Amino acid sequence: MSSGVSGVFGRNAFNEATMRECLPKNVFQSLKRTLDGEQPLDPATADVIANAMKDWAIAKGATHFCHWFQPMTGLTAEKHDAFISPTKDGRTIMEFSGKELTQGEPDASSFPSGGLRATFEARGYTAWDCTSPVFVKEDGKNITLYIPSAFCSYTGEALDKKTPLLRSMDALSRQAVRVLKALGNGCTNVKRVIATMGPEQEYFLVDQSFCAKRLDLVLAGRTLFGAKPPRGQELEDHYFGSLHERIANFMNEVNHELWKLGVTAKTQHNEVAPAQYELAPVFSTVNVAADHNQLTMDTLQKVARRHGFVCLLHEKPFAGVNGSGKHNNWSMATDTGINLLDPGDTPHDNMVFLVMLCAVIRAVDQYAMLLRASVANAGNDHRLGANEAPPAIVSVFLGEQLTDIFEQLAKGSAKSSKRGGQLKLGVSTLPHLPKDSTDRNRTSPFAFTGNKFEFRMVGSSQSISGPSFTLNTIVAETLSEIADVLEKASDVPAAAQKILQDIATQHARIVFNGDNYSEEWAAEAARRGLPNIRAAVEALKTIPSPQNIALFTKHGVLSENELRARTEIFLEVYSRQINVEAQTMLTMARRQILPACCEYSARLGEAVTAVSGAGVKAEAQKAMLQKVCDLIATLQTRIEALEKARAGAAGTKGHERQAEAYRTDVVPAMQALRVVADELEVLMDARLWPLPTYAEMLFVR
């Protein structure tokens, strides 16, 4: 075995190279045809593959296998079974059949189904997704063969995030191939179009010793109290700063763990907020990217523990500093290796590129609300529209060159492409740099970045599957509209030109290259009629609209029932999350903050008595005591108000109305309670304050 990274990379993944090595040639070829979507896997082939997988996994020390799937509630799920099979004479042999590989049947009754199945109909099935490599995972001494799987109900309805993603990939491929065939232009031999994805993952690392003392971090993954520290991110010295040694060691181990699993961890750096970091892989098929992103989140958290950290994946662990997102870089590639969003040197005469670009622009404009809803969760409510992340308004950044072409298209046809030229740095020893034809725009929610789009609204804790299947499906829809026209056209180039002109005219409003954080943009977007939905609940409610039901059913991605069920689950998850936060706040306020404040007021009272008793004026002490007592009274009132709001919301019937109650009653009551506690924190004797401070958590490494 070779040493170094290439020796480690993919060591624990049953990837194509390993399969080629381990499987008989005809079996491998048969599996390849399944992977290419040409034929289903036959049971005899599955048996041979399962056996080879088992031998490979056992050689790596594995004792168990599991179907690994992504239920509707954020996390991944797994149930382990040992390979052992007892023999009549009291021994055991290691067995793993094709059936065990391809199908599992976990008791599904405890997974949320959004009403798709009653608990007495507990059956659920997992099905092997052979397009995502099986892998061996080492958790302490436990070594297990993981089988990436889809999860559905007894009636075949999707209960997970992978199934619609796989369906959407098929839909996108179908429609894109139709368009390519109709256009001609050298792409007629394309059999499949693949959605590609490179998700950049942001996260925080906080020393474990602080986290252990904060119930909010333990239970809610974010701080629910905490005064602004004397120093925040204003010095802007963390972003891209040199890596602290302890962090570098952590990252090194994360990379090695991920490389072993075949995850292409590539880029790492300090992010904007202190204690915030980012990791990005090399892009892959969106389905594999989604699985690998789950593994990345899991690995970040696991390795953090080994290094005495806790990794926070919440969208907003700390108020007042940057939150964490996921930047989903997305494109479409042909099975012949062409990136369909690569503009080439002369985008104005690259018809395939222009059609694909315009299809995306139209999709984003028509389904802006749906895209917004696809990233809606309680955590993201703290980011979107809070002047640090993209706003809740969806718009597209095209940059100078493409905007110019888009404007030319609106007038009839595009005749030229603006060039980037060269950058001269004025130093003879530095190289001349070719200038990109387009600058970047960090504030845009949906930005064209050279040869892909970057969807930046996704929250750091979210699965990338939801936003990805949404994007795949809306683009499939506009491509299908385009294909419908092109397939019937007698003069295809003229018809294509007309389509581009129509899109450039009708959807100009979605293009915005300016500062998305500015108030002027919010006003301008309103004039353009672009939706601006700040709250997750409001966004989620719009999911089962007639337009969206028609979209998802037409492309076979989600049935109306599945879509409605999902929406119910999202709303329920929202309510539960806020409820946990509210209860955690109440516990901390009553059992930690209030007692500490009472203790402090008692000490101040003693100080007043002692000082006055000595015949000295104690006006300052008295004033402090008064202030602390007033704040304690307010704290007490707000605790009661929050409890009342929480109980009211908890008792509200119906997922939608309940989520609304949490949003309109509980969230503001939480905020009000926090404000007064934070005020007390800055007044109090530091020795009495029961919680680690923002300064400690953000700056001590």
Residues that bind ligand ADP (CB under 6 A): 196-198, 200, 267, 280-283, 329-331, 339, 449, 451-452
DSSP code of 316?
-
Number of residues counted as binding Mg ion (CB under 5 A)? 1
| Residue with Cβ nearer ligand ADP (280 or 297) | 280
Judged by beta carbon distances under 5 to 8 A according to partner kind, the member of Mg ion, ligand ADP, none in contact with residue 688 is none
Site for Mg ion in 504-543 (CB under 5 A): none
Contact partner, 283, from ligand ADP, Mg ion, none, Cβ < 5-8 Å per class: ligand ADP
- Picked from ligand ADP, Mg ion, none, the partner binding residue 452 (CB below 5 to 8 A depending on kind) is ligand ADP
Tokens 């109306």 sit on residue: 560
641 Cβ contact partners less than 8 Å away, ≥ 6 residues apart: 669, 672, 673
Nearest to 446, CA basis, from 436, 435, 457: 457
Which letter does DSSP use for residue 442 in this model? T
Q: Are strands 64-69 and 142-153 parallel, antiparallel or unpaired?
A: parallel
3-state secondary structure of 94: strand
Cβ(296)–Cβ(201) below 8 Å? yes
- Residue 30 or 296: which CB sits closer to ligand ADP? 296
- To ligand ADP, the closest distance from the beta carbon of 401 in angstroms equals 16
Taking the least distance from each CB to ligand ADP, the nearer of 456 and 655 is 456
Residue 334 interaction partner, one of Mg ion, ligand ADP, none, beta carbon < 5-8 Å per kind? none
The alpha carbons of the chain give a radius of gyration, in whole angstroms, of 28
From the CB of 477, what's the least distance to ligand ADP, in Å? 20
State the nearest-atom distance from the C-beta of 456 to Mg ion, in Å.
8
Q: Which residue is nearest to ligand ADP (CB)?
A: 198
Minimum gap (Å) between residue 327 Cβ and ligand ADP: 6
CA–CA dist 430, 433 (Å, integer): 9
Shortest distance, CB of residue 449 to ligand ADP, whole angstroms? 5
Q: Tokens 């168990």, residue?
A: 64
Which of Mg ion, ligand ADP, none lies near 198, with the C-beta cut-off 5 to 8 A by kind?
Answer: ligand ADP
When binding is defined by CB under 5 A, the residue of 327, 362, 555, 638 that contacts Mg ion is 327
| Shorter beta-carbon distance to Mg ion: residue 260 or 327 | 327
Selection from ligand ADP, Mg ion, none that 197 binds (CB < 5 to 8 A by kind) is ligand ADP
Q: Find the residue with minimal CB distance to Mg ion.
A: 327
* CB distance 375 to 460 below 8 Å: no
CA distances from 618 to 278, 534, 685 (A): 52, 50, 18
Q: How far apart are the first and last CA of the chain?
A: 37
Pick the closer one to Mg ion by CB: 452 or 655. 452
Residue 331 binds which entry of Mg ion, ligand ADP, none, with Cβ cut-offs from 5 to 8 Å by kind? ligand ADP
Q: Of 600, 598, 621, whose CA–CA distance to 609 is shortest? A: 621
Q: How far is the CB of 193 from ligand ADP (least distance, A)?
A: 12
448 versus 521: smaller Cβ distance to ligand ADP? 448
Residues contacting residue 231 through CB under 8 Å, at least 6 positions apart: 695, 699
Residue with tokens 């802007």: 236
* Rounded Cα distance, 101 and 93, in Å: 17
Degrees, nearest 5: CA angle 578-580-585: 95
Q: Which is nearer to Mg ion, 200 or 477 (CB)?
A: 200
Q: Among ligand ADP, Mg ion, none, what binds residue 132 when CB lies within 5 to 8 Å by partner kind?
A: none
The minimum distance between CB 148 and ligand ADP, in angstroms, equals 20
| Cβ proximity to Mg ion, 468 vs 601, nearer residue | 468
CB 434, min distance to ligand ADP, A: 16
Smallest separation, CB 200 to ligand ADP (Å): 6
Angle, helices 162-183/465-488, rounded to nearest 10 degrees: 30
Q: Residue 649 burial (CB < 10 Å; 0-12/13-18/19+)?
A: buried
Which entry of Mg ion, ligand ADP, none binds 330, CB below 5 to 8 A by partner kind?
ligand ADP
For ligand ADP, the closer CB: 266 or 415: 266
Out of Mg ion, ligand ADP, none, what residue 142 binds, judged by CB under 5 to 8 A for its kind, is: none
Q: Is the torsion defined by CA of 254, 257, 263, 264 positive or negative?
A: positive
- Geometric angle at alpha carbon 683, from 681 and 684, rounded to 5°: 70
Shortest spacing between CB 440 and ligand ADP, in angstroms: 7
User: What span, in angstroms and rounded, lies between the C-alpha atoms of 493 and 503?
Assistant: 15
Strand (E) or helix (H) holding 646: helix 619-650
Among 69, 76, 74, 63, CA closest to 140? 63
Partner whose binding site includes residue 282, from Mg ion, ligand ADP, none (CB under 5 to 8 Å by kind): ligand ADP
Q: Which stretch binds Mg ion (CB under 5 A): 324-332, 351-359, 559-567, 569-577?
A: 324-332
Q: Which does 358 bind (CB under 5 to 8 A by kind): ligand ADP, Mg ion, none?
A: none
| Phi and psi torsions of 429, nearest 5° | -85, -10
Measuring CA to CA, which residue among 634, 589, 606, 409 is closest to residue 501?
409
Nearer to ligand ADP, 280 or 373 (CB): 280
Site for Mg ion in 620-659 (CB under 5 A): none
List residues near Mg ion by CB under 5 A: 327
